[in-house]
């Protein structure tokens, strides 16, 4: 693992690191914010999964999360959204290939062997963090924006007892029924609908739910509402009687101005679930 | 004036607008954050002047200022850092020409007639804001980062009674004595040292000072300390007995991670000076 940069921020350190990923068979870059409390010992971790076209950097620079993480004593992890490199398959569209890994393990060519973001985010990267940094993997929570909200919800539901809480900003909530989903799941996983189920937050909510609290924020003026399908997830959460809060935020769109507005609430929500 | 974008943010609006600038003889773009209080009437204004290579956008997306401005009821203005357009002179160096207007009115070719950022920021843009938006120009304060800190300090000292307070993050504090300054002042203003004086915060502090409080934050691990020369300004402020606080922040560098860490303090400082 190599250090790309480290900047002091709210008395902690915002770092960027690269490492060889065995899972993705390429070099991967991630951001990690360690709050000042990490100087004294391992701190709980909040994962932030980003959306289409993003790298590790967008949320790290635009979400304004570090100050609130420092107050709470939470580390923030900002993974990339896909494998990277000259030999990694790509597509001309912004919503497939690089920057659009969709948090799945691809089984279809040309996306194998690199596109394995599910295993990367849920196995390899946590192991690396636990080995290299003062983080407490017994206390984790997860959030994300758009495609990253999809990733956060599906990974949380598939790993019972790992995350104390999950939240999402404008998640892709029902990808099996959306052009943000059908195209990508078909490309990466093939046309076997059964393989899609665990990568659809609404269907996972119907099937298994989540064993902790959920917070969802959705902008009421989001330009992608028809693709996100928040109503499907709200229906599924309510039908399951899932411990959850779904907030439709009037006037807000899909941008980081929306994310930064509500990130304080999300960090407070996760800090509470983690007993901070 | 045309609206480029408007995003709801902390219940206010982060807008981006373009307009024909008579002063700079080109189209100019600026960001304006109006807090929710502006829905009820004019609000005080905090100017944020940006540094070398920046546009209106950097601080708007990376400084994390909007939430604190919303709490205080302050508008934030994010001007560009130079004239723009195909017919505007430029230089291959990052620190001269576009993105590097240095908040002066150029008197030398090829920088005339476009490079008139002093008049743009201190005359034309405030007039436009007063005409188009719910801002109260009787209650203004000003801040900036690096080259923008230089601009904030020099403009504030040259306009007594206009700004209730001035602050700066890692300002270029003594450009007459720095490679961040001599090159630019020479190019834009010629070699007449007397013309440089009002564009050097340290010299202006020695000559006239400021009629309100000043807050300066400087990162102790800033990679540009030798160019910024904060010790000259600290010496001048102390010698004048200027109402001021100068904070050397151990470990912090020149990045927006430094700015975002201390922007809450700066907004609170200006809000206090503005009687909010």
Domain ranges of chain B: 2-274
Burial class (CB in 10 A: 0-12, 13-18, 19+), A220: middle
What is A167-184 written as a DSSP string? EEES----GGGSTTTHHH
Say what the pLDDT of residue A32 is: 98
Mean pLDDT of chain B: 97
Chain A residues whose beta carbon lies within 8 Å of the beta carbon of residue B61: 61-62, 256
Residue of A nearest to B9 (CA): A257
Say what the pLDDT of residue A67 is: 98
**Catalytic residue positions of A, numbered:** 146, 222, 254
Interface of A with B (CB under 8 A): 7-11, 14, 61-62, 64, 66-67, 219, 221, 251-253, 255-258, 260-261, 264
Residue B41, Ramachandran bin (φ over 0: left; ψ between -120 and 50: alpha; else beta): left
Residue of A nearest to B256 (CA): A61
Does the bond joining A113 to the residue before it have cis omega, within 30 degrees of 0? yes
Backbone φ and ψ of B179, nearest 5°: -70, -20
Sign for the pseudo-dihedral over CA of A206, A210, A211, A213: negative
Say what the pLDDT of residue B171 is: 98
Closest listed residue to residue B65, CA positions, set B38, B79, B46, B41: B46
- Separation in Å, CA B92 to CA A166, B53, B84, B96, B97: 48, 12, 15, 8, 8
Second-level CATH architecture of B2-274: 3-Layer(aba) Sandwich (3.40)
* Residue A116 pLDDT class (50, 70, 90 cuts): very high
CA–CA dist A101, A83 (Å, integer): 7
Closest listed residue to residue A101, CA positions, set A60, A144, A42: A144
Sign for the pseudo-dihedral over CA of A104, A119, A147, A57: negative
List, for residues B221-268, the tens digit of each pLDDT value.
999 999 999 999 999 999 999 999 999 999 999 999 999 999 999 999
Q: What percent of chain B has pLDDT over 70?
A: 100
Picking from B253, B256, B261, the nearest residue to A10 by CB comes out as B261
Backbone φ and ψ of B191, nearest 5°: -95, 15
Say what the pLDDT of residue B127 is: 98
Picking from A8, A251, A256, the nearest residue to B253 by CB comes out as A8
Site from B4, B12, B13, B61 to mutate, A interface, most A CB atoms within 10 angstroms = B61
* Residue B167 tokens, joined: 């602050």
Q: What is the ipTM of this complex?
A: 0.85
Q: What percent of chain B has pLDDT over 90?
A: 100
Contact A7 B258 (CB under 8 A): yes
Say what the pLDDT of residue A135 is: 98
How many CB contacts within 8 angstroms connect chain A with chain B?
62
Say what the pLDDT of residue A243 is: 94
Closest listed residue to residue B38, CA positions, set B16, B13, B19: B13
Say what the pLDDT of residue A157 is: 98
Closest listed residue to residue A33, CA positions, set A72, A58, A1, A7: A7
* Residue A275 pLDDT class (50, 70, 90 cuts): very high
What's the rounded mean pLDDT across residues A61-79? 98
Longest dimension (CA), chain B: 50
List, for residues A4-34, the tens digit of each pLDDT value.
999 999 999 999 999 999 999 999 999 999 9
CA distance A43 to chain B (A): 20
Contact A255 B67 (CB under 8 A): no
Contact B221 A257 (CB under 8 A): no
* Residue B103 pLDDT class (50, 70, 90 cuts): very high
Say what the pLDDT of residue A249 is: 95
Say what the pLDDT of residue B26 is: 98
* Residue B122 tokens, joined: 């201190």
Chain B residues whose beta carbon lies within 8 Å of the beta carbon of residue A64: 64, 67, 260
CA–CA dist A143, A68 (Å, integer): 15
Residue of A nearest to B68 (CA): A261
Residue of B nearest to A261 (CA): B10
Contact B260 A67 (CB under 8 A): yes
CA–CA dist A25, A113 (Å, integer): 7
Picking from A14, A221, A256, the nearest residue to B257 by CB comes out as A14
**Three-state secondary-structure class, residue B84:** coil
- Please enumerate in sequence order all residues whose Cβ is within 8 A of that of B172, keeping only pairs 6 or more positions apart, or say none: B146, B147, B149, B150, B178, B180, B181, B201, B227, B228, B229
pTM: 0.91
**Catalytic residue positions of B, numbered:** 146, 222, 254
Which residue do the tokens 């008197």 mark? B107
Say what the pLDDT of residue A169 is: 98
Say what the pLDDT of residue B34 is: 98
What's the rounded mean pLDDT across residues B139-147? 98
Say what the pLDDT of residue A82 is: 98
Which residue do the tokens 């985010």 mark? A121
């Amino acid at each position: 693992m190599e250090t790309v940069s480290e900047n002091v921020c709210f008395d902690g350190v915002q770092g960027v690191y690269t490492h060889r990923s065995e899972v993705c068979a390429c070099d991967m870059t991630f951001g990690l914010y360690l709050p000042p409390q990490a100087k004294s010992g391992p701190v709980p971790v909040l994962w932030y999964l980003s959306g289409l076209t993003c790298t590790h950097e967008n949320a790290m620079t635009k979400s304004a999360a570090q100050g609130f993480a420092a107050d709470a004593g939470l580390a923030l992890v900002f993974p990339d959204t896909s494998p990277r490199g000259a030999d990694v398959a790509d597509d001309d569209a912004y919503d497939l290939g690089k920057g659009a890994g969709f948090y799945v393990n691809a089984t279809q060519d040309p996306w194998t062997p690199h596109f394995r973001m599910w295993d990367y985010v849920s196995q390899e990267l946590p192991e690396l963090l636990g080995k290299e940094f003062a983080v407490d993997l017994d206390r984790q929570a997860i959030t994300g924006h758009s495609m990253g909200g999809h990733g956060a919800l599906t990974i949380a539901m598939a790993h019972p007892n790992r995350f104390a809480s999950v939240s999402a900003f404008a998640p892709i909530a029902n990808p099996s029924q959306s052009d943000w989903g059908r195209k990508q799941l078909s490309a990466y996983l093939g046309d076997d609908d059964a393989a899609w189920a665990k990568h659809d937050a609404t269907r996972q909510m119907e099937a298994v739910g989540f064993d902790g609290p959920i917070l969802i924020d959705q902008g009421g003026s989001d330009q992608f509402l028809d693709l996100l399908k928040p109503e499907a997830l709200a229906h599924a959460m309510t039908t399951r009687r899932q411990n959850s809060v779904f907030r439709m935020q009037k006037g807000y769109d899909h941008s980081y101005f929306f994310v930064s507005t509500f990130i304080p609430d999300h960090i407070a929500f996760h800090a509470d679930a983690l007993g901070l």
